[in-house]
Amino acid sequence: MQLHDNTILITGGGSGIGRGLADAFHALGNTVVIAGRSQRTLDEATAANPDLHAMTLDVTEPADVHRFAHEVAERFPALNVLINNAGVMRIEDVTRHDLAGVEAIIATNLLGPIRLTAALIPHLAQQPRATVMNVTSGLAFVPLAATPTYNATKAALHSYTLSLREQLRDTSVEVIELVPPYVQTRLTGEHQATDPRAMPLDAYIADTMAILHDHPDAKEVIIERVAPLRHAEVHGTFDEMFGHLSAMGREFSANP
């Protein structure tokens, strides 16, 4: 991926990893558009960085995705990078499933990226160079038992990303998978933002941008912190990693 002279759309760009990526890409001179459901979160991001552009989008609503795709392409005709980052993560008890909550996770984490990518591919493919970056998770490769639906959506998005890349191989659109580790954000609540076991957000963004800079043809962005999860099957450490995450998940479930 070329890191300069882009117009970049980041879903979930008002906070967490999305906000970190928005600031980092903007610092490199790119035009950055952040999108999300919460106007307040978007306003806080643009107040801190007035050069960011913000647009509301609910990726769980097909009609809103259609509306948004038309508007963003019209407002930003040079748009050439889509970063599918919006996501939700919840602890679940599978013996007492909240099916509405499960479906909301799937709609945000999986259907949202698929719908928005489908809506914007015709526009992106017209650009001389373009990128779709899907943000998955280390939990796509070794699941955290306490968050089964989140894991499943990220594993599915990983698989979708592989197929998307293959189908677009003869176009101007490259496809990159970003695989974060456990990062200090508010994805699961305030405790995660200060958990010393989680990687500081600034450090994660710095490592990610360094990989994108040093390896412009990278198909996956795997920082050192998440490599043990990404390669657990290959290295024969899956059971060990799964057991470690299961213990952590029991702690999360006991102290939500």
Q: What residues are labeled active site?
A: 150
Angle between helices 16-27 and 201-214 (to 10 degrees): 50
Half-sphere exposure of 200 (CA within 13 A, CB side): 3
Closest-CA residue to 18 (of 158, 129, 180): 180
Closest-CA residue to 80 (of 23, 4, 153, 145): 4
Q: Per residue in 216-228, is it b (16+ CB within 10 Å) or e — as a string? A: eeeeebbbebbeb
3 state DSSP class of 20:
helix
- The C-alpha atoms of residue 223 and residue 115 are separated, in whole angstroms, by 28
- The C-alpha atoms of residue 105 and residue 206 are separated, in whole angstroms, by 28
The DSSP bridge partners found for residue 9 are 33, 82
Within 10 A of 26 (CB to CB), how many other CB atoms are there? 17
Let me know: does 20 contact 202? Beta carbons within 8 Å. yes
User: What string of DSSP letters covers 58-97?
Assistant: -TT-HHHHHHHHHHHHHH-TT--EEEE---------GGG-
